[in-house]
């Protein structure tokens, strides 16, 4: 009698557990390696080249400003420290030194801000392209694969650093066919090329 009452309860539990399993069977999942996409997409390569050119131009301007500042200092140092001309040149030198430091700090802040805006913009483009490909393929979920590398020798890192590397690996296994990174790069490059 007790067994007869238990059978419907057991059957109900089995069906309740089986329903989510069936729903998960139809779930389509893919992965993307955002670090790979960032480094391989053409727009990133072009931006890196532009940043390098800007950096070289900034370094040339910086060297010129340093030479001008040194010239002002040398002109001041040729004079006697107790002369009115020395005081005038000293004021000129100090103002130029302050202006130079302010210019250098402002340029560094501007460079950092520009790079952060560009990185954010690239990530938003990656995110959009992933969404397009996911919609085309009927994917339900796309995970960003992070795969920090172990150093050649573990002696070079602490236990905490090793723990951090292990914790940073968010995908333990994925079939190569689950990785849509190459398709995302192709789509991004095509869009970038079409923009000119």
Please give, one letter per residue, the 3-state secondary structure of 30-86.
EEECHHHHHHHCHHHHHHHHHHHHHHHHHHHHHHHHHHHHHHHHHHHHCCCCCCHHH
Look at residue 81 and tell me whether its pLDDT is greater than 80.
Answer: yes
Q: CATH no. for residue 73?
A: 3.30.910.20
Mean pLDDT for 28-33 is: 95
Indicate the pTM of the whole model. Answer: 0.73
pLDDT of residue 17: 55
96 in a structural domain: yes
Tell me the β-bridge partners of 179: 31
Question: Over the chain, what is the mean pLDDT?
Answer: 88
19 in a structural domain: no
Would you call 143 helix, strand, or coil by DSSP?
strand
Domain count, the chain: 1
- Give residue 47's domain range: 26-195
CB distance 93 to 71 below 8 Å: no
């Amino acid at each position: 009698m007790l067994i007869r009452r238990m059978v419907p309860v057991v059957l109900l539990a089995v069906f309740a557990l089986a329903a989510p399993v069936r729903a998960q069977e139809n779930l389509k999942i893919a992965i993307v390696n955002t670090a790979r996409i960032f480094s391989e997409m053409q727009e990133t390569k072009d931006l890196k080249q532009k940043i390098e050119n800007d950096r070289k131009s900034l370094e040339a301007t910086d060297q010129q400003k340093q030479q001008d500042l040194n010239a002002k200092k040398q002109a001041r140092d040729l004079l006697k420290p107790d002369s009115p001309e020395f005081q005038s040149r000293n004021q000129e030198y100090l103002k130029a030194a302050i202006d130079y430091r302010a210019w250098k700090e402002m340029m560094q802040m501007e460079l950092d801000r520009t790079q952060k805006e560009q990185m954010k913009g690239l990530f938003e483009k990656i995110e959009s392209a992933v969404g397009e490909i996911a919609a085309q393929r009927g994917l339900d979920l796309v995970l960003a694969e992070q795969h920090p590398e172990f150093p050649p020798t573990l002696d070079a890192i602490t236990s905490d650093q090793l723990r951090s590397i292990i914790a940073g690996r968010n995908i333990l296994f994925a079939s190569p066919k689950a990785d849509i990174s190459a398709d995302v790069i192709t789509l991004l490059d095509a869009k970038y090329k079409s923009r000119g």
